[in-house]
């Protein structure tokens, strides 16, 4: 259960102001159909984070525990730094126009899945699964975290986004990543 709660919290914080949250705002403003957008985000995230969690678990079978400890720890510390760099959307209107022929659900699913590839929440999912030996709870937790961050973006749009202290949220998320990274090393070498 710890894996679920930590995964949920980390991804919910990491997603605030992230490019996929901005994409959710853009899709909601374009299509004005929250239900298919949310279902597409949920399914794209489940598949993306399921594959990411499986990759995280697989990595633990091919890399020795000492090297893995360092990779995961440094990865979390790197995520802390990455959290402090604000995301921006490119010209997503062109991408939306390209995929719009597949409808609201299809466009949202494809765009969200592709936007998550290499994103900090996907990398966090890989690292969390490698750290906790729990594909299912990490996948569910990171997916719930994505939905916590994106559902309000879809329903409320810019009204909420402009009132959230994104900088503070990113600093809190960065602090959590840093604590996990340093804590993992400290736990191994000090205890």
State residue 191's pLDDT score: 65
Q: Which pLDDT belongs to residue 52?
A: 93
Three-state secondary structure readout of 30-48: HHCCHHHHHHHHHHHHHHH
d(CA 28, CA 154): 5
Q: Can you give the residue range of the structural domain that contains 159? A: 2-190
Residue 43 has pLDDT above 60, yes or no: yes
Quote the number of domains for the chain.
Answer: 1
Neighbours of 189 (CB within 10 A): 8
pTM over 0.95: no
Is the model more confident about 77 or about 184? 77
The 8 Å CB, 24+ separation contacts for 112-117 are 112/20, 112/23, 112/24, 112/40, 112/41, 112/44, 112/45, 113/44, 113/47, 113/48, 115/19, 115/20, 115/23, 116/20, 116/44, 116/45, 116/48, 116/49, 117/48
**Taking 60 as the threshold, does the pLDDT of residue 164 lie above it?**
no
Contact 48, 181 (CB under 8 A): no
pLDDT of 109 strictly over 70: yes
């Amino acid at each position: 259960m710890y894996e679920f709660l930590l995964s949920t919290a980390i991804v919910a914080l990491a997603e605030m102001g992230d490019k996929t949250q901005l994409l959710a705002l853009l899709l909601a403003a374009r299509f004005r159909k929250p239900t298919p957008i949310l279902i597409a985000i949920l399914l794209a995230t489940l598949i993306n984070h399921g594959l990411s969690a499986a990759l995280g678990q697989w990595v633990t079978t091919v890399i020795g525990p000492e090297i893995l400890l360092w990779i995961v720890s440094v990865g979390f510390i790197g995520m802390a730094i990455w959290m402090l760099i604000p995301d921006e959307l490119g010209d997503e209107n062109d991408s939306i126009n390209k995929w719009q022929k597949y409808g609201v659900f299809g466009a949202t699913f494809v765009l969200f899945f592709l936007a998550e590839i290499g994103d900090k929440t996907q990398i966090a999912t890989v690292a969390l699964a490698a750290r906790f030996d729990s594909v299912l709870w990490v996948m569910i937790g990171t997916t719930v975290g994505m939905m916590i961050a994106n559902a309000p973006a879809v329903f409320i749009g810019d009204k909420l986004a402009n009132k959230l202290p994104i900088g503070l949220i990113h600093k809190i998320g960065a602090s959590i990543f840093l604590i996990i990274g340093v804590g993992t090393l400290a736990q191994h070498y000090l205890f």
